[in-house]
Amino acid sequence: MNAQNQERDVFAAIADPTRRKLLRLLAEAEELPLHELTSQFQMGRTAVSKHLAILKEAELVADRRMGRETKYRLNAAPLQEIKDWVSFYEKFWEERVRHLKNFLEE
């Protein structure tokens, strides 16, 4: 996988804790401007913007300009891919726990 495709990959986009925190902040609010997002981190505006750009390339974040300000909002639809992937393993562990429970009851 080349670097450009990896940036657009939802899994790669959420791999970073800063980007996961950005998604959580956007999930808790309808829309937030860049300066409010930046205030939640101990990094500069440019660094936060770079993280938002990666999320935007993965289509997890949408933005819109309002005058001199850019506001960001969550687009949760691509997270379905992650939910689907995790649900397979959830079924795997439920089955394993059920077998363990049956074994312990015997």
How many domains are contained in the chain?
A: 1
Decide if 96 is inside a domain: no
Question: For residue 23, how many other CB atoms are within 10 A of its CB?
Answer: 19
- How many Å apart are CA 100 and CA 23, to the nearest integer? 36
Decide if 99 is inside a domain: no
Supply the DSSP symbol for 61. E
Which CATH number goes with the domain that contains 45?
1.10.10.10
pLDDT in tens, 2-31: 444 444 699 999 999 999 999 999 999 999
pTM of this structure: 0.78
Q: Which pair of structure tokens corresponds to residue 52?
A: 């938002």
Q: Which pair of structure tokens corresponds to residue 9?
A: 């990959």
Supply the DSSP symbol for 76. -
- 21: containing domain: 3-76
Decide if 28 is inside a domain: yes
Decide if 14 is inside a domain: yes
pLDDT in tens, 86-95: 888 888 888 8
Decide if 98 is inside a domain: no
